[in-house]
Amino acid sequence: MTEDNDAASRYRAPALEKGLDIIELLASSPSPLSLTAIASTLGRSMGEIYRIALALEARGYIRRDRDSDYFVLTLRLFELAHENPPTNRLLSVALPLMEELATLSQQSCHLAVLSGARVLIVAQVDAPRPMHYAVRLGAQFPLAETSSGAVMLAYQPEHHRQALIEACIASTPEMADTLPERIKTILVDGGERRPSLVVSGVTNLTRPVFDHRGSVAAALTVPFLDQTGLSVDADQAETAVAATALKISAALGWREERQSNHLAV
């Protein structure tokens, strides 16, 4: 046994690990799961899973459907993330400005942060028009699948950015020819404007949001949907996104001269 393996074995917490396994499984499942399915998928016995699941249910992390007895993940973890002071500060600053942006652009807008190697939508404001496209609050996406993720990736410190680029390419090898160049373009342009890789007819208008240290804290996006009767075009909406991202950054204490040089790829 290696030293690392010995340390990992010494400090294991089996009950905690089982609880985290259940939470991660339910988070990735598109539908509710029975205790039998949870145990089978995790390679555990019902006896191992039963008490852990009841404890998670009692603490509000998972919920059981009373008709089917199947379990789903609640929003408890999402709520805890929002109680974190930096997230609270970001949202309290961003939401009023995002509401103004939705009115100015006549489009919905959303704010995303990094969650490991994924993108998490932490704020969303609907467009004032009856027909619009919007991303669901709390939704998560692979990092390079969205403009929000690509922009936040571009503005990471160089060593972290390179590690994330390599991870994206490892999971999606076809990105090897396009992702590094995409990152360079984002850094030159100060954001990204491109057709959505997920939804046809939508153009992502994305800008970074910086904190007081000059580190990228989030990405602000308007998923622009062109339609009859709009008095705002994509160019005007893009200008509004850029201005709003700067206002949010300034309210977080960002000053342009404090921003680190992220341009080397």
Task: Decide if 145 contacts 126 (C-beta within 8 A).
Answer: no
Beta-ladder partners of 62: 73
Which residue bears the tokens 């669901």?
136
The residue with greater pLDDT, 101 or 65, is 101
Task: Decide if 63 contacts 55 (C-beta within 8 A).
Answer: no
Banded model confidence at residue 257, pLDDT cuts 50, 70, 90:
low
pLDDT for 261 equals: 44
pLDDT for 143 equals: 87
* 260 pLDDT more than 70: no
User: Which range, of 3-12, 80-89, 121-130, 136-145, averages the lowest pLDDT?
Assistant: 3-12
The residue with greater pLDDT, 60 or 94, is 94
Find the mean pLDDT for residues 29-56. 91
Average of per-residue pLDDT values in the chain: 87
DSSP string, 33-91: B-HHHHHHHHT--HHHHHHHHHHHHHTTSEEE-TTT--EEE-SHHHHHHHHSHHHHHHH
pLDDT for 83 equals: 59
* 128 pLDDT more than 70: yes
pLDDT for 11 equals: 63
Task: Decide if 188 contacts 262 (C-beta within 8 A).
Answer: no
This prediction has a pTM of 0.69
* 264 pLDDT more than 50: no
pLDDT for 86 equals: 66
Could you give the residue ranges of the DSSP H alpha helices within the chain?
A: 3-10, 14-28, 35-42, 46-58, 76-83, 85-105, 147-154, 158-171, 179-189, 234-251
Find the mean pLDDT for residues 2-23. 72
Nearest C-alpha neighbor of 216 from the set 154, 170, 263: 154
CA distances 253 to 52, 98, 222, Å, are: 43, 18, 23
- For 197-248, how does the pLDDT look when each residue is reduced to its tens digit (9 = 90+)? 888 899 999 999 999 889 999 999 999 999 888 899 999 999 999 999 999 9
pLDDT for 1 equals: 45
Task: Decide if 114 contacts 120 (C-beta within 8 A).
Answer: yes
Find the mean pLDDT for residues 163-185. 90
* 184 pLDDT more than 90: yes
* 27 pLDDT more than 70: yes
